[in-house]
Structures are given as structure tokens and as C-alpha cells.
Structure 1
Amino acid sequence: MPQLLWLVTGYSTGFGAEFSKQILQGGDKASATARKVDSLNELKGPGAAVLQLDVTAPIIELKAKIEAAVGIYGRVDVLVSNAGYVQLGAVEDLGDNLVKTFVAETASLGYIRTLYIHPGHFRTEVTKHEKHTAILERKDSEKYQPMYDRMASFADQLHGSQQGDVRKAVELTLDLVQGEGKMEGREIPSQMWMGSDGYAVVKAKCEEVLEVLGEWEEAIKGTKFEGLEGKAS
């Protein structure tokens, strides 16, 4: 297929680093971003363009960064919206920071195709002790301390033992985008789940929903207006 031009946010570790590596190895071009541009120096040799970008910056700054990214190669074919950070805690403690975890839907524009990846637990630095400890210490209330302690303990136990292989997940994602490998001959889905643990959780939830629908079908459908029996239900 034609060479694609990628923009990968949050390069420095985990999925972002693996995306940039495989994109370049496959012959495509990439612009990689991170909050600290020094962490991108190793990409300059392999041929990637590098940009400093903080996705929580004001919108006017983000627009300028996007224009700069497009200007490097003249276009961006694929955006990997990978940048993020660990967000743990109760809503009361997170406050305005909670808003930063949400993104806008773009598929409705028609000319932009979106693919949502829902990963299970993958072996990255996201559960590293230093990351979640610093966050859980910046809380405003004490009433959730037992919950925070359990979350920290879970992250410590999980770190380094996650079932998911980042390299394999990135390979599958590239296949989905490029229509090659495991994707060949299939229609690109709007969303994809990755990881055996993620598969098990989603499958169990779907089966639970179907069971409830089956048990309550008559009652659920019975909430419509009277006199609509002849119309689609």
C-alpha cells in the first residue's frame, strides 16, 4: 500500500515508543511527540520527525502544534492518539483533572475514520510504583484512603506481570490500519479489544447483558406507547 504519514503522540514509553519503532521499520514516516522533547532524540537517527507536545495545553497552542506537524510532510494520514497519564482516585479528589481524560468523537465528520483500541493490561510503565504513588498522595480527602491503598497494592502486584505484549498489540493495530496481515480480507471495525484478559471481561459483560435482555424482554418492550403493536418494536 502507499506510504503512510503518521503522527504519534506520547512517544516516550510503552505503546508510543513501539508504534514509532514499527512504523519506521515498515517503511512509513512518522512524527513523534512527547511532553519532553529530549526523550525523542533517539528517533532522529531512524528518520522520524520529533515535536514537543503536551495534549493538555490550551487549544490555541495545540492548533499551532498540529499545523507544525502537518507542515513537516505536507499531511497526516494516521493519528495515533496515545498520549495519556495515570489518573487514579475518586471524582471528588480528581476535580478538573478528570476533564483532561476525555476526547472528542470525530467519526461523524465523514472524512475521518476512527478506530478505538480497548487494551487489557499490557506490560508498560503505567503501573510503575513511582507513577501511582505520586498521584495517590495528591488527594484532598482522607475518607477514601482504604480504596487508595487497595489501588496502589493492585498496581504494585500487576506491574511486570501483565499478560499483554505491547509489540503484538501494535502489530495488530498496524494491520488494522493498513488492511494487511491479520486484517487482510476483513472489514475494519470501529473498535477493537486487545489482550486475553480484556477479551474475557468484555465477553462476560456482553453475556450478562444478553441474559438480562432475555429475562426481561417482555417488560422492557412493554414500556412503549399503547397502540403501537403493529409497528416495529
Structure 2
Amino acid sequence: MSAGEPGRPLTAGEVAHSWAADVFAEEGLDDADRLRLAFGLLDLLVEYWVTCEIRFAHQGPDGPLPADVLWDGYRRRLEADGDAETLTYSLWVDWFEDRETAAGAFAGVLGDDIERLVAEPSEGPLRRARRVLDCSGPVPWPVKEAAYRAAARLPVLHAALFAGLRAGYHDLYGDLEPAAALALLDRLELPADTEHLAELRHVLAAGHRNHHRSPGAWDEAVRTRG
């Protein structure tokens, strides 16, 4: 119930803001169990704020949290059927856009096992790979390039890889190397009418790294295509 409005049930967001931080002060539990409890709260509430508190605890004075438990929690939920928007948004805006955490986060959710995933693909890990690639635009190019090349060997990942490349160009914090990204793009098996495919190829061929550094380049690509 809400203390301010007796009788009114708390929303999931209010519960998250009120209680998620307290999970990491729970006595009688070690850091791994507190983290597992936080993930359980995330499963119950499906609220982005829970992921924020997980990150705060990881980067706070009592952190870091156990990396194996942290990234296993993300991986298993990214592999599950159903909506994973809370997790992918968390990865994108909190872990991947932060240069101090991007490498560890990307390795933990995909980079460390992409070779095995491509060699022995199965439904859950492929679902995870698609979701991570789709939101990986801000990950520094040197961190993600090897995983991108591995993913390119598996056509079922090509659409998600294209989304990652496109975000690497358009996102404010996006990162790519134009020549390497173009070579990778040319390997993808995509429908010829894939939206923005021609424009992305055009700006990469012209050597542009990011839409925000060359704001007129994309419009020029659109005009050229037209």
C-alpha cells in the first residue's frame, strides 16, 4: 500500500524505487545471493529501475558484484522467450554507452561465447545474440568487431547484425570503423529492399563514422539513392 495514499496499491515502478536498493543491504546473504534476489525482483516487477540498482551496487563502494552471477543473470533472461526490452534497454543506455563498462558487459552477455554459439547454434542463445547485437551500437568497435565477424558466419543473425551496424552509425554514442564495417555489411545476406541498407553502405563507403559527426551525410545518401 502507498504510505501517502492509504488503500492505494503501489505500482511496480513505486515498488522498484522503494525496495530495489534494499536488496543489496539484506543481511544474512552474500553478494551473489543479493544479486540473485535482485534478479528475482526484476522478474517480478519488470521495471528498469531494478537494473539501475544492480548497476549502482556493482559500481558502488561495496562493488563490484560477482561477474559470473551478474552476466549469467542477464544471459539467461535474454535467452528466455518473451519481452526482454527492460534488459536490452539497460544494456544499451547503462552498460554499453559507458566506456568503463562496455567491454566487460559485452563480453559477459555475448562476446565470450559467440564462437561456441555460432558453431553450435540453439534457440535460446540465438535469441540472446540477436537481442545483444541489436542494441550493441554504442559498444566500441575494437570490443565488438570480432563478435560481429563471428556473427556474420551465421545468416540467421544477419538482420540483427545489420541493426547493430546501423545503430553504430546513428546512435549518439555509436562506434564503428567505416571500412571494416562496410566490408562486414557486404557479407550480410539481406533482402535488397532492406530499409536503410543502401544509405548505410553509401555513408560507410564515403568514410563517415557517425551521423552526429557528419550530420549531412545521411541526407546526401538519401538524395543519391533517390
Fold shared, TM-score > 0.5 on shorter chain: no
Q: Which has the higher strand share?
A: 1
Q: Which structure has the bigger radius of gyration?
A: 1
Q: Which has the higher helix share?
A: 2
